[in-house]
Amino acid sequence: MGELLTVNMGPQHPSTHGVLYLELKMDGEIVVDCKPHLGYLHRSIEKIAENRTYTQFIPFTDRLDYLASMNNNLGYCLAVEKLLNIAVPDRAQYLRVIIAELNRAVSHLVAIGTFAQDLGAYATPLFYAFRDREKIVDLFDSICGGRLTYNYMRIGGVSADIPARTEQIIKDFIAYERKQLIEYNELLTYNVIFLARSKNIGILSKEVARSYSVTGPMLRASGIKWDIRKEEPYSMYDKFDFDVPVGANGDSWDRFKVRLDEISQSLRIVEQAIGGIPEGNPVSKVNRVFRGTGEAYVRTENPRGELGFYLVAEGGFNPTRCKIRSPSFSNLGALSELVKGLNISDAVCVLGSMDIVMGEIDR
Amino acid sequence: MKNNDILQKIKNKFPDLSLEETPHGLVIPKTALLDVAGFLKIEMDFENCHCVTAVDRRDKLELIYLLYSTSHHFMLTLKTFVTLDDLTVETLSGLWRSADWLEREVYDLFGIKFQNHPDLRRIMNPDDWTDFPLRKNFTRADFIPRPQSTGLKGPNS
Amino acid sequence: MMIRLFTGFYSILKGFKVTFKNMLKKPVTLNYPIVKKPMTDRFRGMVDLVPEKCVICYQCIKICPTAALELEHKVLEDNKTKTITKFVFNGELCCFCGFCGEICPTDAIFLNKMYEVSYFAHKDLLTIDLMRKDKYKHVDGGESS
Amino acid sequence: MSVIFLKGLAVLGFIAVSAMFSIWLERKISAWIQNRMGPMMTGFHGTLQPVADTIKLLLKEDIVPKGVDFLSWWLAPFFVTVPVVMAFLVIPFSSKWIALDLNVGVLYVCSVTSICVLGIFMAGWGSNNKYSLLGGMRSAAQIISYEVPLLLSVLLVVMQSGTMSMQGIVAAQEHGWFILKPHLTLAFLIYFISATAEVNRVPFDIPEAESELVAGYHTEYSGMKFAMFFVAEYTNMFIISAIATTLFLGGWQGPFLPGLVWFLLKSYGLVAFLMWMRWTLPRVRMDQMMSFAWKVLTPMALLNLLISGWFMVK
């Protein structure tokens, strides 16, 4: 082994998904050591939470995992509702599930697109993914008025009822997306180059995954059938029938495939939920005032893993502490172990298959 | 599996330990943290260190470990108190690798020093910082917490 | 070996099929500066105000998570009617959550449909006087609707 | 003397126009594949967009990064661009339109285009950038490996036609394109794959691998020097398509239309196919690419050469 080459990959690099900075020690093209440096997107959201009322913090949760704002909203609202014992109308629960699952689907679409981009499939899969995502973003736009930071859920409900034609749009989208998934399979999943690039790359074993507290599609790709929606159903998830896709050996391709399968499962949930939305008023007004004491930890299944909110309240209008346990943070911890001994191209592939969002890692 | 059972088992294992059971988790003295955690991991099958965090209780810091056991389907909240004059705690990163970064985060934001941690550096804030931003007494010239608004009624509060 | 070569070749051809099929489809994008997309009813653009409707209840000031709004008023001589002396919106702090519009009892403050927001000077964005009628006139396409 | 000078000028003009057209075509094809519109604002459907880009690149500041190996950094764009221009000398656009019908035309064009690797490596080394260095190293390994199957498959064409002159090869295809003969179909496939690797196009674009090496060997270049790399890339693409047209697709021959039109049609058809390929396939990895060259393409080309050579001799 000769002299090691130190390559500073990031914070400005096309494939570090934002502002991740990896300090790579390389022997030629082989990565010998990888040291992630975080904090380039640190906005001290946990400190902000301590100085905001419970309602005021909702817009900030949008900015954690900005690809899955709805799921973050849901997690936070559930945590506050558990902390303060607030009842939620059934209709709001259903709407939350539908919206969260749609957001999961489109978030996975982005993950798939960016992963393909990292493997060098120039922009095309990414554009297809964004084209499909756009339909849902348009729908969310008509529901809540935002295109990225939705800020839709409220403590004890949602901000507004869905507009009249929403159900039809969702049904159309489900039919459309199922056709598109076949196309993704043809374009990417079973493409020989794609397989050669991602199969058996970055294998994450069950034990290592558990030890690093890896969650979400990454954990399931390693062969552990674990989904909070199944194990500890929150909101209305126990009413719906869906499978938990599991990977065979935990390599990059499995992580990709699990995400692809999860899209169709999400569509299944939405399809079941859309038929049975109960009547009622789901709206919770923004001028409600909350206060209470206690501690609550709620974890929800985000597209990237288990998002947890640990809320501590001491009676004021705002929480004393709001710890956000972000899935990408824990998932990224396993990176340096996975990329050791791999080619730099494979390191990019592993990082892409993790599907991290820096917004929730740095918080 | 309930809090009680685990409490009982820990009590059997460590008879002379001052254990306390609160509705929000088990509180153990910080000197016994490593022993209890090791017991929980190896004999009680808590193979997942889900989350590590701390809460500033003004006179002391409350360190919280959320441990999860897949086989028991149970999440244990393990708490310990760290006084401000002695901020050292034994690290658990040797038991769970996820604790490595999570403890670094707690060190970064609260200043709790984890002894024998392999790489105790700040993780989010700049390395040359001296403040611990999530402490309640954190002040800085350019840090302006929003005036705490209350029950929304009336003009200027 | 040969079989692998052929199946690999076939899978690549399948990819070509997908991209070719898409080549024949209509573009989904718009010819942007010429064709513009209409915003939805609930779209949250810039914060806007109808000063006549405002009852100076300070609800929006209190709910605003980022303290982007600043309101001052004075009571007139008759000790009853209040008038706004200053209502300033900080476009940089705003996170476009729409809480102010949601909480307003008279719908005086609301978020309009503007999405092309750019200013020549930074300080212009920091202090947008909501009391002025032409506050968004200078921005391209910005009608105070 | 003056005639060859004029011909040279014509070649330069053609290169400029062809590169601009290729860039426009690439952007349009990528847009169509991705359900976008592509450039629309300058000229009819953005036809003048490359002109605008060129003006922008000409006016840009030429940034010299700190610590570059100045000579190799400065010379690299020329080493990449000049061979491309030189290769145009022997390309037969029609029965009359050829700058110089060398009797070793095939050999000449193959040797001239391989000079490019020198320029790329110089750029990689001279830039004082680790990504550039990796890109340059990759490029050197890649281009040298793929030269072997490329030449072996071209050799088959020379054997078939019995001449190395480009016009002679075109003339030999008067009664049927070479691609229609089974052993030459295989040779065409091998040639096309290797040539794709030669010009660093997807799926073999590892020297510039955007997601890994930012922009590979031309990371540090800006302004006109970057434009030269750009022009070289697109002209290279045209050249390999033109050579493929000449060697396998009957060159300028075709019914009804004049030779020049046929030649350009065929060449740009291949260029368009290369672009289609770029926007469809993911990138292969370095070691996979090398093993593909040495374990699949080279033995296949050799076998093809041996077997068909045996049949020819018999």
Nearest to A31 by CA among A272, A347, A274, A350: A347
Measured in Å, how far apart are chain B's first and last C-alpha atoms? 48
Give, as one character, the DSSP assignment of residue D45: G
The residue of chain B nearest to residue C68, with distances taken between CA atoms, is B146
Confirm if A273 and A240 have CB atoms less than 8 A apart.
yes
Task: Give residue B157's pLDDT band: very low, low, confident or very high (50, 70, 90).
Answer: very low
How far are the Cα atoms of B60, C66, C68, D142 from residue B140, in angstroms, in the given order?
A: 21, 19, 21, 56
Distance from C-alpha of A318 to C-alpha of A300, rounded to nearest angstrom: 22
How near does any CA of chain B get to the CA of A194, in Å? Answer: 31
β-pair partners for A27: A30
Helices (H), C1-145: 2-23, 59-63, 99-103, 122-126
Distance from C-alpha of A334 to C-alpha of A327, rounded to nearest angstrom: 12
Q: Residue D148: is it exposed, middle or buried by C-beta count within 10 angstroms (0-12/13-18/19+)? A: middle
Q: Per residue, what are the HEC states of A200-215?
A: CCCCCCHHHHHHCCCC
Distance from C-alpha of A205 to C-alpha of A212, rounded to nearest angstrom: 11
Average confidence (pLDDT) over D41-69: 84
Predicted pLDDT of residue C56: 82
**pLDDT beyond 70 at B148:** no
Judged by DSSP in three states, A312 sits in strand
Chains that touch B (3 or more CB pairs under 8 A): A, C
Confirm if D109 and D119 have CB atoms less than 8 A apart.
no
D-chain CB neighbours of C29 within 8 Å are 35-37
Residue A158 corresponds to which amino acid?
A: V
Q: What is the pLDDT of residues B31-72, one digit of tens each?
A: 888 888 888 888 778 888 888 888 888 888 888 888 888 877
> Which structure tokens are listed for B68?
């999860």
List of residues 6+ apart from C38 with CB closer than 8 A: none
β-pair partners for D217: none
> Which structure tokens are listed for D34?
């991705």
Confirm if A67 and A303 have CB atoms less than 8 A apart.
yes
A-chain CB neighbours of C114 within 8 Å are none
Instruction: Sort residue D293 into left (φ over 0), alpha (ψ -120 to 50) or beta.
Output: alpha
Distance from C-alpha of B63 to C-alpha of A81, rounded to nearest angstrom: 24
Maximum C-alpha span of chain B: 59
Interface test with B, best of C54, C56, C58 (most B CBs within 10 A): C58
Predicted pLDDT of residue B2: 63
How near does any CA of chain C get to the CA of D257, in Å? Answer: 27
As a whole-number percent, the residues of chain A with pLDDT over 90 amount to 0
Domain ranges of chain C: 47-129
A-chain CB neighbours of B148 within 8 Å are 51, 316-318
Predicted pLDDT of residue C145: 40
The 10 Å Cβ neighbour count of residue A142 is: 18
Predicted pLDDT of residue C139: 60
Average confidence (pLDDT) over A19-48: 86
Give, as one character, the DSSP assignment of residue C54: -
Chains A and D touch (3+ CB pairs under 8 A): yes
Confirm if A98 and A173 have CB atoms less than 8 A apart.
no
Predicted pLDDT of residue B28: 83
Predicted pLDDT of residue D37: 86
- The CATH architecture one would assign to domain B3-115 is 2-Layer Sandwich (3.30)
Considering the entire predicted model, what is its pTM?
Answer: 0.87
Confirm if A146 and A58 have CB atoms less than 8 A apart.
no
Ranking A58-62, A135-139, C132-136 by mean pLDDT, the lowest is C132-136
Residue C85 corresponds to which amino acid?
A: T
* CA atoms A145, A150, A151, A152: torsion sign: positive
The residue of chain A nearest to residue B65, with distances taken between CA atoms, is A310
Are residues A5 and D285, on separate chains, in Cβ contact within 8 Å? no
Chains A and C touch (3+ CB pairs under 8 A): yes
**pLDDT beyond 60 at B149:** no
The 10 Å Cβ neighbour count of residue D313 is: 7
Nearest to B149 among C56, C62, C66 (CB): C62
Average confidence (pLDDT) over A198-222: 87
List of residues 6+ apart from B127 with CB closer than 8 A: B121
**pLDDT beyond 60 at C142:** no
Q: What is the pLDDT of residues C69-104, one digit of tens each?
A: 888 888 887 777 778 888 888 888 888 888 888 888
Nearest to C19 among D36, D41, D276 (CB): D276
Confirm if B41 and B48 have CB atoms less than 8 A apart.
no
Q: Which helix (H) or strand (E) holds A158?
A: strand A157-158
Average confidence (pLDDT) over D98-109: 79
> Which structure tokens are listed for B66?
């959320």
Check if A91 contacts C (Cβ < 8 Å): no
Are residues A308 and B125, on separate chains, in Cβ contact within 8 Å? no
> Which CATH number applies to C47-129: 3.10.450.630, 3.30.70.3270, 1.10.260.40, 3.20.20.70?
3.30.70.3270
How far are the Cα atoms of B52, B99, B111, D83 from residue B83, in angstroms, in the given order?
A: 17, 21, 11, 74
Domain ranges of chain B: 3-115
Predicted pLDDT of residue D145: 86
How near does any CA of chain A get to the CA of D31, in Å? Answer: 9
How near does any CA of chain D get to the CA of C112, in Å? Answer: 29
Confirm if A94 and A237 have CB atoms less than 8 A apart.
no
> Which structure tokens are listed for A278?
């109960």
Task: Give residue A149's pLDDT band: very low, low, confident or very high (50, 70, 90).
Answer: confident
Q: What's the mean pLDDT when you consider all of chain D? A: 84
Average confidence (pLDDT) over A168-191: 87
Chain A residue set in contact with B, beta carbons under 8 Å: 38-39, 42, 44, 46-47, 50-53, 56, 208, 210-214, 224, 226, 231, 287, 289, 294-295, 297, 299, 306, 308, 310, 312, 316-318, 320-321, 323, 325, 329-330, 333, 362-363
Between residues A214 and D102, which one has the greater pLDDT? A214
The 10 Å Cβ neighbour count of residue A291 is: 15
Distance from C-alpha of D237 to C-alpha of D228, rounded to nearest angstrom: 14
**pLDDT beyond 50 at D234:** yes
Predicted pLDDT of residue C144: 42
Are residues B134 and A46, on separate chains, in Cβ contact within 8 Å? yes
> Which structure tokens are listed for D139?
């490029």
β-pair partners for B94: none
Pairing mode, strands B88-90 and B113-115: parallel
How far are the Cα atoms of A158, C47, C88, C92 from residue C104, in angstroms, in the given order?
A: 17, 12, 16, 21
Are residues C58 and B146, on separate chains, in Cβ contact within 8 Å? no
**pLDDT beyond 60 at A307:** yes
Distance from C-alpha of C78 to C-alpha of C64, rounded to nearest angstrom: 31
Q: Per residue, what are the HEC states of B42-97?
A: HCCCCCEEEEEEEEECCCEEEEEEEEEECCCCEEEEEEEEEECCCCEEECCCCCCC
* CA atoms B28, B33, B35, B39: torsion sign: positive
Distance from C-alpha of A99 to C-alpha of A96, rounded to nearest angstrom: 5
